[in-house]
């Protein structure tokens, strides 16, 4: 029966696809504009725990489509929960990062350029403050209670790094307006980029990557400790092998041997250059002039640190991401089954509403008359059927040709 149903709608879908190909540029532009507008006004689901009011509304009225349900929400809630609002928030954070970087690199800029950067930074402070106020006005006490690290951090960044350091202190204390401390704290506004973690988790690729990264925190910490201990060990050995090698004497500052004659920290930092090959070839060539076999020592360090430990970290993250991806597939299959059960329940409720005379059978006349009831028409739209498709569906499900459908035929056909 499913294959028969698919064949019924196949012709309609093919004709719709051909109509899309034949549409003019103006029609296509109008369609894309309409779709973009619908996307901007659609609810943005960034968190699993939406408000209790929303979940209650979904439970009490499941017959209305999401668009109709969204229109019943207050204007402020629709605005703050929309995709457009979240997209504007992300774009403002990106632009703020750009102007903060440009302002930090503006050493020899003209006065007009500096004033422009300052004005833009003030505009971003104002934009972040307006966004924060809208979110608080929408959520009320729920924004602060229970405490959430994301909301607390966002509040501190907006009010301390933005309003306090950007407006209050410069207006009251002119001497500290451009001090290094206030400038450094002001740049902490860039920490708003942490909101991207909440945004990126809606994309499966980034979600899998972040899940693999966060799921291996203990392993990463162990690898960092192991790498630090390895660097410490080879740093000590390098002091003995290179720093105290007599032909070097008292090496001049800036030479390769000098790093191994001035303490443990310079020695360890010099060894880390071999991990990322930070000009390590010239560094090693200078050591080979008087110690031709020192490459064996350096190669052992590279092999253990770069080839073993770092690749081990990559393998662990990939393995964790793959296992979590498989778990997500199983969870998704479970969600699909739950959705099918919910759809079946909705179909049964819909059948009871269509059965006007209570006979347990739905005739074609009852089926046709039901489309004049907005609630039932909305329900068919939610299930993906317009009026003509639903009528064709009735004829397909009526396999015995009696002009009536039972509950089993209506829900399981």
- Do 163 and 139 lie in a common domain? yes
Which of 175-184, 204-213, 240-249, 290-299 has the weakest average pLDDT?
A: 175-184
- Do 30 and 89 lie in a common domain? no
- Do 182 and 288 lie in a common domain? no
Count up the domains in the chain and report the number: 4
CA-nearest of 288, 264, 284 to 274 is: 284
First vs last Cα of the chain: how many Å apart? Answer: 6
The domain that holds 376 is classified in CATH as: 1.10.238.10
Higher pLDDT among residues 102 and 271, named by residue: 271
- Do 132 and 196 lie in a common domain? yes
H or E stretch including 98? helix 83-104
Please state the φ and ψ torsions of residue 82, each to the nearest 5 degrees.
-80, 155
H or E stretch including 173? none
- Do 306 and 349 lie in a common domain? no
Using alpha carbons, list the distances in angstroms from residue 326 to 73, 111, 175, 191, 212: 37, 57, 58, 33, 12
- Do 81 and 184 lie in a common domain? yes
Q: What are 151-191's pLDDT values in tens digits?
A: 888 898 899 888 888 888 878 876 655 566 666 666 677 77
Please state the φ and ψ torsions of residue 362, each to the nearest 5 degrees.
-110, 115
CA-nearest of 339, 341, 348 to 379 is: 348
Decide if 294 contacts 241 (C-beta within 8 A): yes
pLDDT of amino acid 411? 62
53 in any annotated domain: no
Helix axes 374-382, 311-354, angle to 10 degrees: 150
Query: Could you say which of 139, 172, 202 is where a domain stops?
Result: 202
211 in any annotated domain: no
DSSP secondary structure of 260-271 = GSS-HHHHHHHH
- Do 226 and 342 lie in a common domain? no
Confidence band of 9 (pLDDT split at 50, 70, 90): very low
pLDDT of amino acid 57? 42
Q: Is the pTM above the cut of 0.85? A: no
209 in any annotated domain: no
56 in any annotated domain: no
The domain that holds 307 is classified in CATH as: 1.10.287
Alpha-carbon radius of gyration of the chain: 33
Torsion sign over Cα 187, 188, 194, 199: negative
- Do 110 and 144 lie in a common domain? yes
- Do 347 and 280 lie in a common domain? no
Query: Could you say which of 257, 284, 314 is where a domain stops?
Result: 314
280 in any annotated domain: yes
51 in any annotated domain: no
User: Taking 90 as the threshold, does the pLDDT of residue 284 lie above it?
Assistant: yes
DSSP category for residue 40: H
pLDDT of amino acid 97? 84
298 in any annotated domain: yes
User: Taking 50 as the threshold, does the pLDDT of residue 251 lie above it?
Assistant: yes
The domain that holds 126 is classified in CATH as: 1.20.120.350
CB-hemisphere CA count at 13 Å for 74?
Answer: 9
Which range of residues forms the domain containing residue 397? 329-412
- Do 166 and 250 lie in a common domain? no
Would you say how long the chain is, in residues?
413
User: Taking 50 as the threshold, does the pLDDT of residue 207 lie above it?
Assistant: yes
Q: What are 35-54's pLDDT values in tens digits?
A: 888 888 888 764 444 444 44
Distance in angstroms (rounded) separating the CA atoms of residues 281 and 273: 10
CA-nearest of 164, 205, 154, 161 to 184 is: 161
Query: Rounded mean pLDDT of 249-277?
Result: 92
pLDDT of amino acid 149? 81
64 in any annotated domain: no
Tokens representing residue 116 in the block: 């422009």
Tokens representing residue 50 in the block: 């939406």
Query: Could you say which of 285, 314, 343 is where a domain stops?
Result: 314
Average pLDDT, the chain: 78
pLDDT of amino acid 105? 81
Distance in angstroms (rounded) separating the CA atoms of residues 34 and 40: 10
**Coil, helix or strand for 82?**
strand
Sequence-distant (≥ 6) Cβ neighbours of residue 66 within 8 angstroms: 43, 382
- Do 345 and 290 lie in a common domain? no
Distance in angstroms (rounded) separating the CA atoms of residues 360 and 353: 11
Decide if 104 contacts 187 (C-beta within 8 A): yes
- Do 130 and 98 lie in a common domain? yes
């Amino acid at each position: 029966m499913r294959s028969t149903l698919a064949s019924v709608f196949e012709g309609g879908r093919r004709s719709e696809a051909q109509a899309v190909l034949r549409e003019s540029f103006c029609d296509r532009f109008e369609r894309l504009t309409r779709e973009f507008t619908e996307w901007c006004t659609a609810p943005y689901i960034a968190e699993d725990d939406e408000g209790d009011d929303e979940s209650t509304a979904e439970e009490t009225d499941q017959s209305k489509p999401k668009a109709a349900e969204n229109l019943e929400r207050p204007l402020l809630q629709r605005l703050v929960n929309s995709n457009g609002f979240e997209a504007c928030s992300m774009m403002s954070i990106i632009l703020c990062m750009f102007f903060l970087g440009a302002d930090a690199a503006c050493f020899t800029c003209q006065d007009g350029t500096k004033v422009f950067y300052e004005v833009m930074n003030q505009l971003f402070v104002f934009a972040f403050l307006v966004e924060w106020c809208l979110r608080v006005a929408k959520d009320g006490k729920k924004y602060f209670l229970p405490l959430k690290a994301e909301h607390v951090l966002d509040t501190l960044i907006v009010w301390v790094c933005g309003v306090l350091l950007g407006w209050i202190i410069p207006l009251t204390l002119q001497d500290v307006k451009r001090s290094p401390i206030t400038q450094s704290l002001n740049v902490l506004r860039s920490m708003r980029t942490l909101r991207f973690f909440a945004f990126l988790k809606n994309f499966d690729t980034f979600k899998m990557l972040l899940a693999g990264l966060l799921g291996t925190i203990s392993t990463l910490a162990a690898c960092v400790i192991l790498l630090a201990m390895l660097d410490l060990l080879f740093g000590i050995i390098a002091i003995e092998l290179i720093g105290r090698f007599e032909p070097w004497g008292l090496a001049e500052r800036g030479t390769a041997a000098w790093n191994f004659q001035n303490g443990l920290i310079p020695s360890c930092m010099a060894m880390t250059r071999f991990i990322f090959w930070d000009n390590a070839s010239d560094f090693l060539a200078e050591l080979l002039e008087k110690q031709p076999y020192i490459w064996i020592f350096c190669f052992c360090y590279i092999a253990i640190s770069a080839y073993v430990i770092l690749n081990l970290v990559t393998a662990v993250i990939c393995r964790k991401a793959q296992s979590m991806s498989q778990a997500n597939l199983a969870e998704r299959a479970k969600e699909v089954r739950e959705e099918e059960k919910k759809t079946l329940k909705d179909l049964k409720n819909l059948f009871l509403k269509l059965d006007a005379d209570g006979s347990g059978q739905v005739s074609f006349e009852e089926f046709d008359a039901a489309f004049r009831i907005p609630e039932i028409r909305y329900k068919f739209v939610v299930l993906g059927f317009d009026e003509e498709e639903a009528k064709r569906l009735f004829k397909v499900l009526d396999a015995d040709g009696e002009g009536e459908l039972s509950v089993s035929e209506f829900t399981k056909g």
